Amino acid sequence: MRIIHLTPGTGNFHCGSCLRDHALVKALGRLGHELTLVPLYLPMVTDDDDGAEDTGDGEVVAPLFLGGLNMYLQQKFPLFRWTPRVFDRFFDRESLLLGLMDKAGMTKTRDLGAMTVSSFKGSHGEQRKEVDKLIRWLKKQERPDLISFSNGLLSGVAKSVHEELKVPVVCSLQGEDAFLDTLPEPYRRQSWELFRENSAFISRYIAVSDYYAGEMRRRLELTDSKIVAVHNGIDFSRFRADPDKRTDPPVIGYLARMCMGKGMHHLVDAFIDLRQRETVEAKLHLAGAKTAVDDEFIAQQKRKVEAAGLTDDVMISPNISTDDKVDFLQRLSVFSVPALYGESFGLYLIEALACGVPVVQPNHAAFPEILEKTGGGLLYDPEDPANLADSLEMMLSLEERRRKLGFEGGQRARKYFTAERMAEDVEAVFQNVCQSA
Is the whole-model pTM more than 0.95?
Answer: no
- 39 - beta bridge partners? 7
CA distance 253 to 228: 32
Contact 39, 4 (CB under 8 A): no
pLDDT at 16: 74
CA distance 5 to 22: 10
The one-digit pLDDT tens for each residue of the chain (437 residues) are: 999 999 997 655 557 788 899 999 999 999 999 999 999 988 766 656 433 344 446 678 888 999 888 898 999 999 999 988 888 888 888 777 766 655 555 456 778 899 999 999 999 999 999 999 999 999 999 999 999 999 999 999 999 999 999 999 999 999 999 999 999 999 999 999 999 999 999 999 999 999 999 999 999 999 999 999 999 999 999 999 999 999 899 999 999 999 999 999 999 999 999 999 999 999 999 999 998 889 999 999 999 999 999 999 999 999 999 899 999 999 999 999 999 999 999 999 999 999 999 999 999 999 999 999 999 999 999 999 899 999 999 999 999 999 999 999 999 999 999 999 999 999 999 999 999 98
pLDDT at 100: 63
pLDDT at 92: 84
CA distance 96 to 182: 27
CA 416 vs CA 45, 166, 172, 230, 231: distances in Å: 25, 35, 19, 11, 9
pLDDT at 9: 78
pLDDT at 10: 63
Pairing status of strand 227-229 against strand 251-255: unpaired
**Are both 2-235+419-436 and 236-416 of the same fold?**
yes
What is the DSSP track for 345-377?
A: --HHHHHHHHTT--EEEESSTTHHHHHHHH--E
Determine the topology of domain 236-416 in CATH: Rossmann fold (3.40.50)
Instruction: Give CATH for domain 2-235+419-436.
Output: 3.40.50.2000
Provide the CB-side half-sphere exposure for 315 (13 A, CA). Answer: 13
Contact 123, 54 (CB under 8 A): no
Which amino acid, one-letter code, is at 136? R
Exposed, middle or buried, 303 (CB in 10 Å: 0-12/13-18/19+)?
Answer: exposed
For the chain, the structural domain boundaries read: 2-235+419-436, 236-416
pLDDT at 53: 41
H or E stretch including 40?
strand 34-40
Exposed, middle or buried, 247 (CB in 10 Å: 0-12/13-18/19+)?
Answer: exposed
